[in-house]
Amino acid sequence: MRSEGVCAGRGDGVVRSVGGRWGYLARGNKGIALRAQGRTSFGGGDNFLALSPAPVMLRPLPKGAAVQQDDPDITPITQTAPVATKTHGGRAKCLQRLIRLSLPVPRTTALSFRAVKRIAEGEMPDIDEILAPFGKDPLLCVRPSSEDPDWGGPSAVLNIGMNDTTHAALSERIGEEPATRLYIRFVRSYAVHVERLDPDIFEDLPSTGMEALQESFRAYQEETEDDFPQDPGVQLAAVLKSMARAWRGTTARLLRQAKGAPADAGLGLVVEEMALGLGKLGECGSGVIQLASSSTGLPRITGRYLSQSQGREALQSGSRSLYLAKDSRGPSLEELAPEAYATLVEYAELMRFRLREEMQCEFTIENGNVHVLDGVRASRTSRAAVRMAVRLAEDGIIPREEALCRVDPRALNEMLHRQVDPEAARDLVGQGIAASPGAATGRLCFSAAAAQAAAARGEPCILVRRETGPEDIRGMHAAVAVLTERGGATSHAAVIGRGLGLPCVVGVTGLTFDMKASQLVTSDGRRFGAGTLMTVDGSHGDILAGEAPLLEASQDAAFQAMLSWAEEFCDIGIRANADTPEDALVARKFHAQGIGLCRTEHMFFEPGRLTVMREMIFADGPDDRRTAIERLLPMQRADFTELFRIMEGQPVCIRLFDPPLHEFLPTDRAGMRELAESLSRPLSDITRRTEQLTEYNPMLGMRGVRLGITVPEIYDMQARAIFEATIAASEQGAPVVPEIMIPLVSARREVELVKTRVDAVAAAVRNETGRDFTYRLGVMVETPRAALRAGEIAPFAAFLSFGTNDLTQMTYGLSRDDAGKFMSEYVKQGVFKEDPFHTLDHEGVGELLTIGAERGRAARPDLVLSICGEHGGNAESIAFCRSAGFDYVSCSPYRVPVARLAAAQLNVRPTLPPRAFKTS
């Protein structure tokens, strides 16, 4: 084995192997020296101070040194070594970057993904070749190096090479007590993490002193029937094999796949010379430092330091560790060792600037000298990620386009809503689908009426239902969170919850909903009745007992800057689904470019309107029905007028009445009796009419355009309300051009019939008022047939808006309210890649969208295309819509910032290098 290179100091020298062993460069006060097998030579310096044979911390080979290895998959990390994230992992590549910054990184050798894979398969590398760069009696650590740090890896193993000989040498150098402590720690760590012994075998043994060491040896020998290995090569080989095989274990694979790693993701390993953080001469210890808070993202020197320690002990030692900067709460490294502290801050700032990222630096101080052991991307909450990215851009370290790509769009949810403090203790009693983000604490209410009563008393409440329906809308408005036993990501509770900005968890498991007793019952028998205080975490799908600490929403300057940049680079329209003036105000707040879906049926569930709707349902003929509906006209007109005024001339797309009529009728005997009294009708009439309207599958029954054709008075009234509101709103502001959308279309003739009546109503309003106005009529494509026949529908429509919630249901033959019961198992077993109600199915539903778009525009080139289902706020779905040439997407108001950031990232990402894509 041979190494050779040129070093530059006060003169030029050549580094060569000595007696077949490696030579190393070490920087002294007056030049550069070579150490090999305890001998020292030098080149280019004046009266160079020779190094002792004892183990010392040495710098890696500097830039310009050429290294040759027999095995290309075993690479000493130098400035020019062939190390890449794709082949050796992120940690190995980061260490090389630190070396290129001339930071004092201990000597390190990287093992590639290929080498580690061979180790896991039983093919060991030349251990002597790995050990050679570290000289005689090395003390090493091995750390994992996966391609993405978030994918994790086996725990690092420290102090490899510790044996009786090294213990004796270290006892002279740093003292017997710390040397023995290191030895004990290594023996026990090796036993547990490498030999996989039960840690309980050491539980009753002494923790310090030679007796503890001897007892540890004895316990090891009893369990393994072998002496503790003294050969560093044997130790290192066992560690490498253990870590390689751990990475390929089933649990590790599932955990990293859950974080987005491919099943065959590789692992690299780095073998690094130990920097002990122990000694007698000057300050010694270890710690971590970063320049921004992981929880807030604000600039602040954070981290901990512990004297006479190694690894990450400082983070685990509680009150014994020191703060870094001066702090009124306790002693600090800045006071203890000001020069080392200043050096650390300088290194951290250099890493931030040159690595273009907020970093956490792991360091050791040995006899007053600082050594950088590792640099990793600082952990961060979602709100911290936004602030960090914006600060890096504002400091000129990264461009704004890259800052946009540093934040996961979903992270904005945590700044839009309150969140459970991630560091707080959680009393988890149940889990479900995280249907609407945010967190809230309130008292359990098991009916909409109870929720309204609690709100009237000023008590925050959580509405608990098996599943919600239109009759629960008032209760949802009164509640601070919603919890349902059934449902999925696009169920009624999920859709309305997102629209209202309410935390919502659906499809709950681990809790039994006893609605008769008004109780939630856990699997271990705990009971939570009406009035019990609980917390719903809609961001993570958790139900917590009691009042959990919450972090307030934070739409600060960084959040606003991120939204402004996203708006600048977004190249597809973003509208909001808004049913109420409150929704519209949120849409305006987030700069939505109009309303893409206004579901008018939700306007009819107010107490006064519900009675009129029921009168219409029980009308004896068209004239009576028209009389009842005319009472709704001024209410609808007022609704639309307010929406138009809030949106200030921006497009508002109003979907005509969609749900089946039975949803407006009571379902229990008591409700029917109350309705009979209010309508002065016999109970038998109410029961008979309810039975007549009952359908086996109401979502595929008389609803949408079918109801509009068979009961045309409803659509006539709504059209008139829209046109009269258009005239009223245009008098005081910008001209309004309403968009009227026909739901659940499956045939051209349906559109023709409704269009004829809507045009007739428009003509009547023009004649009555003497005012002209413009409107656009379009179709909501929710059935596969409408997508397939888009070519014959398009000539009668100004736009096609694909309702992907129902379109997905009908394409798959799945109920979106019931799919949650088995969807996770389907995804786990690979039946579906993702829940199709959460992420748009590109292959099936997506093909219908593509067919509809192509055939529609072939028949009408100026046809406007959009989606208005909940997929509109999903990044993958937006990518599909951009590629398919859609004009805009529409989503819940609180998802508008998420959708806009996702769209902006899709636009700028092709212009940026891959390293810019790392998100929170």
Task: Provide the token pair at 857.
Answer: 């525009």
What Cα–Cα distance (Å) separates residue 181 from each residue in 144, 207, 214, 543? 24, 8, 12, 44
Task: Provide the token pair at 110.
Answer: 């990287």
Residue 281 exposure: Cα atoms within 13 Å on the Cβ side? 4
Cα 723 to Cα 640: distance, rounded to the nearest angstrom: 9
Task: Provide the token pair at 826.
Answer: 């389907």
Task: Provide the token pair at 76.
Answer: 């000493």
Cα-Cα-Cα-Cα torsion 559, 561, 563, 567, nearest 10 degrees, comes to 180
Q: Residue 742 CB: number of other CB atoms within 10 A? A: 26
The answer for residues whose C-beta is within 8 angstroms of residue 535's C-beta and 6 or more apart is 420, 439, 440, 441, 543, 544, 545, 546, 547, 548, 550
Strand order, beta sheet including 157-160: 74-76, 108-111, 267-273, 140-146, 157-160
The one-letter code for the residue type at 668 is D
> Does residue 781 contact residue 787 with C-beta atoms inside 8 Å?
yes
Of residues 492, 662, 838, 842, which has the active-site annotation? 492
> What are the backbone angles phi and psi of residue 629, rounded to the nearest 5°?
-65, -35
**Does 868 participate in catalysis according to the annotation?**
yes
> Does residue 645 contact residue 738 with C-beta atoms inside 8 Å?
no
Candidates 835, 792, 787, 790; CA nearest to 814 is: 835
> Does residue 817 contact residue 465 with C-beta atoms inside 8 Å?
no
What Cα–Cα distance (Å) separates residue 129 from each residue in 74, 179, 319, 902? 8, 27, 43, 48
Candidates 818, 816, 838; CA nearest to 827 is: 838
Of residues 504, 868, 881, 891, which has the active-site annotation? 868
Candidates 225, 228, 226; CA nearest to 167 is: 228
Candidates 473, 477, 441; CA nearest to 456 is: 477
> Does residue 512 contact residue 527 with C-beta atoms inside 8 Å?
no
> Does residue 212 contact residue 206 with C-beta atoms inside 8 Å?
yes
> Does residue 502 contact residue 524 with C-beta atoms inside 8 Å?
no
Paired strand residues for 740 = 654, 777
Cα 374 to Cα 362: distance, rounded to the nearest angstrom: 5
Cα 403 to Cα 382: distance, rounded to the nearest angstrom: 14
Q: In this structure, is the dihedral angle defined by the CA atoms of residues 883, 885, 886 and 888, taken in order, positive or negative? A: positive
Annotated catalytic residues are 492, 868
